Amino acid sequence: MSKPYKIIISGGGTGGHIYPAIAIANELKSRSTNIEILFVGAEGKMEMEKVPKAGFEIIGLPIAGINRSNMLANLKFPFKLINSLRLAYKTITTFKPDAAIGVGGYASGPTLLMANFKGVKTLLQEQNSYAGITNKFLSKRASKICVAYPKMEAFFPSGKIVFTGNPVRKDIIESNKTRKEALAHFGLSENKKTLLIIGGSQGARSINKAIEAGLSDLNKAGLQVIWQTGKNFKSAFSSDSQNCISEFIYEMDLAYKAADIAISRAGALSVSELCLTNKPSILVPLPSAAEDHQTMNAMSLVNENAALLVKDVDVSQELVKATIDLAGNSDLQSELSNNIKAFAKPKAAEEIVNEILSLI
């Protein structure tokens, strides 16, 4: 790579946008030290904290979404949009990027619009099976669109689509730990089946309440539990010899290695990690997710017999029984594990970076 390349990566708002963006940035840096990367996010959103912690510079735009619960709060929206477009234009003009990458979220709209206006090549990365509004709008002028699910022609021009998958943390892909070591880390037995419960970093209240009510039934059925509750749920239980219960699991590579089956929300990254680790899973989509995209993510697997689905509204009645039934059905576990492998894309970050570099 003879000349120094400059890349803007824009978007955020949730971990599902931010962590793929950081994975792409890390892969770019691994290719050459002669690449300069600038992130553009939304003021007050989590990317303004997470991106600097990952070692990258970020600029914040005053952009915000439409507040559907309080229409008066939207009076400032036109001014925020205009100021964001101005700042994005200034950033593009000053930084002079060779390419701009949009990962979804408020900030990517103004940034990629101004990049297109200035003649900069753009690439989109869509994490979900149901495309977000911002990416759908930007797709008309994007050069390439990297997607994580098949059949995305419903949202994007087919000639621009590249099926790359979602970038995930390298430790999950590259972990060399054994199941024995993973179980020992969590203080659990090698002789029991292990259930992993993850509801995202904030936890999932409906899942948590169902597990709290049914934990003794799960244990009686021979299951031991690794349970990430999130910081906002205070379980009546504490970790014991049968279970490991904590607000947050930092060693997710070990959690996946230890688990025989999993219960999870259906966010893009969680689904991608379950695919990569081939876990027989019960998915409980978050019904309030934008455009119900978590249900779409889950159904992409369910329709291929690659995962089971329990609706959020049915969790209290069905989740524990469905889990015990799955744990006792080794044939179904094998079927789900084999089918979910087809969705795994372990080289997603590499393939996306290849597309970026091909543009410039």
Is 202 part of any known ligand binding site? no
| Per-residue H/E/C for the chain | CCCCEEEEEECCCCHHHHHHHHHHHHHHHHHCCCEEEEEEEECCCCHHHHHHHCCCEEEEECCCCCCCCCHHHHHHHHHHHHHHHHHHHHHHHHHCCCEEEECCCCCHHHHHHHHHHCCCEEEEEECCCCCCHHHHHHCCCCCEEEECCCCHHHCCCHHHEEECCCCCCHHHHHCCCCHHHHHHHCCCCCCCEEEEEECCCCCCHHHHHHHHHHHHHHHHCCEEEEEECCCCCCCCCCCCCCEEEECCCCCHHHHHHHCCEEEECCCHHHHHHHHHHCCCEEECCCCCCHHHHHHHHHHHHHCCCCCEECCHHHHHHHHHHHHHHHHCCHHHHHHHHHHHHHHCCCCHHHHHHHHHHHHC
Residue 169 marked in a binding site: yes
15 is in an annotated binding site: yes
Residue 249, marked binder: yes
Residue 269 known to bind ligand: yes
273 is in an annotated binding site: yes
Q: Is 36 annotated as a binding residue?
A: no
Do the beta carbons of residue 112 and residue 100 sit within 8 Å?
Answer: yes
99 is in an annotated binding site: no
135 labelled binding-site residue? no
Cβ–Cβ under 8 Å, residues 282 and 263 = yes
271 annotated binding-site participant: yes
Binding residues for UDP-N-acetyl-alpha-D-glucosamine: 14-16, 128, 169, 201, 249, 268-273, 294
Binding residues: 14-16, 128, 169, 201, 249, 268-273, 294
